[in-house]
Amino acid sequence: MNWIEYDVARPEDGQVVAICTQDGVGSGKYDATFSNFIHILMPGNAAFRQYRITHWLPLPEGQKES
């Protein structure tokens, strides 16, 4: 699976995806109402700030219980 350019396509509303920013790779939930990500998590960075998202990648399905 390849990274998707943020300027080319957006995730579905409410979708949680991996994101690539100027500070590295993290995760975020896309909110179509605001055309932006909310609930962004970046490893090692607890500061509230704006991130410039360049690419995103769908997360794999979680483990299914048998």
pLDDT digits (tens, 9 = 90+) for 5-53: 999 999 999 999 999 998 889 999 999 998 988 888 888 766 667 888 9
pTM check: above 0.85:
no
In this prediction, residue 51 carries a pLDDT of 84
In this prediction, residue 45 carries a pLDDT of 63
Among 34, 36, 29, smallest CA distance to 14 is for: 29
Model confidence at 65, pLDDT cuts 50, 70, 90, reads: confident
In this prediction, residue 1 carries a pLDDT of 79
For the chain, give every domain's residue range: 4-58
